[in-house]
Amino acid sequence: MAQITIVALGHPLLDIHADVSDNFLKKFKVEPNNAILIGPEQQDLQEELLNGDHDLTFVAGGAAMNTVRMLQWLVNDPRKLQCYYLGSVGRDAGAKCLRELMEESGVITHFQVQEDSPTGICMALVNGCNRSLVTSLGAAADFTPEFLMEKKSWKMVESAKICYLNGYFVGISMNSVEILLKHIKSTNKVLCFNLASPFVSRLHFKKIDAVIPYADFVFGTRDEAQAFAEAKNLDDNTAVGTAKYFASLPRVLGSIRTRWIVFTNGPGSIMTISSKDLKIRNFTVDPLPSDEFVDTNGAGDGFAAGFLASYLVEKDLDKAIQSGKKAAAYIIRRSGFSLDDRYDF
């Protein structure tokens, strides 16, 4: 089998995981199971986490980084698959930690270094089976088109057969995304896209709308899909409406390949639709015992990794869904997006 090569553009973040109470979430105006950028109401959140009595865990984060880390880990053979990752960090200990973690995973990284901005952080607040993400992008928001076009960065892009983006990056770094989309169009490369979060779907629906025609795979949750439908004011402003809309958008590259839309729904069924027949299929999710729930943070990133690890090799939707479910369940059973020895999977 020829080697599969993937390049992801994303926001590298150092994740800080903490178990918090309902009152803690209310104090900082954070909703359960939501993902937001830090605002005025959350300015003191990081300080309270670091100086309080919370049991903290630090892990590599950022949605695209999570997916390529797990994808590399799942395939576990650089001769079969090699992932590359481009992002922006500060010149600090957080960046050093991220480099080491990515090197351990086998993903080849190239970071733009910002002298005046710290490496971004994501505070993952776990409350029972729920999790909320509060992100301070820091240097991650400063990724530039000039860095993307640098020789080393562009060599990674050119060598990759598949590109991976998500809504977070599209929302902040659209100038760089447009350069990548032109390359995808001229080379007929595969694009995988993840919606990322409901607030991204609402705030950046126009940018997402511009990316989907290039995409071969679109991942997301039903909440993210419904947020897009409402922001776009689709006639059917539900997740199903978004799925059908995405599947029916004309491909920039013509009708050479099928576009797959895959929306998860926590413990609810997984919905898929393809541009080939526009038929909705639903796949049940095996319930996890309540005592095995640890942290849902990154479950969607893990699902995308599991799905792609299977589908890119076997081209079988049912097997890919099973692989995605298994990967998501593995992440849910762990604190943070942490990966142990491969034989534990």
Query: Catalytic residue positions?
Result: 301
Quick one: three-class SS letters along the chain? CCCEEEEEECCCEEEEEEECCHHHHHHCCCCCCCEEECCHHHCCHHHHHHHCCCCCEEEEECHHHHHHHHHHHHHCCCCCEEEEEEEEEECCHHHHHHHHHHHHHCCEEEEEEECCCCCEEEEEEEECCEEEEEEECHHHHHCCHHHHHCHHHHHHHHHCCEEEEEHHHHHHCHHHHHHHHHHHHHHCCEEEEECCCHHHHHHCHHHHHHHHHHCCEEEEEHHHHHHHHHHHCCCCCCHHHHHHHHHHCCCCCCCCCCCEEEEEECEEEEEEEECCCCCCEEECCCCCCHHHCCCCCCHHHHHHHHHHHHHHHHCCHHHHHHHHHHHHHHHHCCCCCCCCCHHHC
